[in-house]
């Protein structure tokens, strides 16, 4: 399938925004992390705006964009509603954070709307004609991806708020938040790894689901090799997508962030923040690699040449 870069960045930024907001909300619900709330919400809002812009770039024309919002059962309509509700909650949350401590109910609400938006986005890709997408594993991956990227962003913010060991006397709050954020990031990395390994088993098993329905010569692309979904799916772990999956998605997108979350608690201040920030970038890069794999293998069950 042709790569749709705007949609890949749309899902990437939505996961980043919801993950950051959801983790911040979880910490607020536990009556922790007062000092990281405002920067976390700002990051999440910026990510959601970037995701929305990426979606419009895919639709290309304003009339096409608004024509796509014509029915409530449409995936794009549900995503728009989810994004609007998310933005409203995030703005109210930001106002509460600026006034002082965020109440616990607002934190749990932030977590709920974040999870719901990821589920809505995941469900919009559930098309029976594209088996690689039509699986609960996609929901699991997007949720774990959101949790990982969001936890790492919050970890970086909390690392900046955490005082160095020499000046940490009497300031245990920031250190506790920092440690909890690292544990959340490590748990999300493990969940991401599980989702990817499950996909490694699932994708090759789809090979018998595809049927070729004839072919014809395309005079506009006379040298283009015809797609072979069955061969690409059954051999994707060692084929053209293997490097993106093993090195990009699995190592860069899960193992490296997980290792960083494990070792970062031994660091201090800006060093820890830099480690968490680099780990977040690795998680995003790995997530983008796996999205490329998903689109490259997102064939229809009936293949027309």
**DSSP secondary structure string for all residues of 192-251:** HHHHHHHHHHHTGGGGGG-EE------TTSTTPPPP-HHHHHHTTTTSTTHHIIIIIIII
Question: Does residue 270 surpass a pLDDT of 60?
Answer: yes
3-state secondary structure of 302: strand
Quickly name the fold that domain 5-303 has.
Formate dehydrogenase/DMSO reductase fold (1.20.1630)
Choose between 67 and 136: higher pLDDT: 136
Q: pLDDT at position 174, please? A: 63
- Whose tokens are 């160095």? That residue is 164
pLDDT grade, residue 108 (50/70/90)?
A: very high
- Specify whether the CB–CB gap between 118 and 23 falls below 8 A: no
Cα 22 from Cα 16, distance rounded (Å): 10
Q: What percent of the chain has pLDDT over 90?
A: 50
pTM (two decimals): 0.87
Q: What is the pLDDT of residue 62?
A: 55
Return d(Cα 182, Cα 261) in angstroms, integer. 5
pLDDT tens track for 181-213: 999 999 999 999 999 999 999 988 887 766 655
Beta-carbon contacts of residue 122 (< 8 Å; ≥ 6 apart) = 138, 139, 142, 143
Q: Is 238's pLDDT higher than 50?
A: yes
């Amino acid at each position: 399938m042709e790569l749709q870069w705007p949609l890949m960045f749309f899902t990437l930024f939505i996961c980043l925004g919801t993950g950051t907001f959801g983790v911040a909300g979880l910490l607020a619900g536990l009556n922790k992390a007062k000092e990281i709330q405002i920067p976390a919400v700002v990051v999440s809002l910026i990510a959601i705006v970037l995701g929305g812009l990426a979606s419009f770039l895919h639709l290309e024309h304003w009339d096409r964009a608004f024509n796509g919002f014509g029915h409530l059962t449409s995936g794009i309509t549900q995503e728009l509603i989810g994004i609007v509700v998310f933005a409203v909650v995030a703005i109210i949350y930001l106002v509460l954070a600026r006034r002082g401590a965020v109440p616990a109910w607002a934190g749990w609400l932030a977590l709920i709307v974040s999870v719901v938006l990821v589920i809505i986005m995941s469900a919009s890709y559930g098309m029976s004609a594209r088996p690689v997408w039509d699986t609960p594993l996609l929901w699991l991956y997007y949720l774990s991806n959101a949790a990982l990227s969001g936890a790492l962003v919050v970890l970086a913010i909390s690392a900046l708020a955490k005082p160095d060991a020499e000046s940490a006397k009497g300031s245990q709050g920031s250190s506790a938040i920092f440690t909890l954020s690292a544990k959340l990031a490590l748990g999300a990395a493990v969940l991401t790894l599980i989702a990817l390994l499950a996909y490694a088993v699932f994708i090759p098993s789809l090979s018998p689901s595809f049927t070729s329905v004839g072919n014809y010569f395309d005079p506009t692309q006379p040298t283009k090799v015809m797609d072979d979904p069955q061969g690409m799916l059954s051999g994707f772990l060692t084929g053209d997508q293997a490097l993106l999956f093993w090195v990009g998605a699995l190592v860069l997108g899960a193992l490296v962030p997980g290792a960083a979350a494990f070792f970062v608690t031994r660091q201090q201040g800006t060093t820890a923040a830099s480690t968490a920030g680099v780990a977040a970038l690795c998680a995003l890069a790995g997530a983008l690699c796996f999205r490329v794999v998903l689109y490259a293998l997102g064939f229809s069950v009936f293949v027309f040449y």
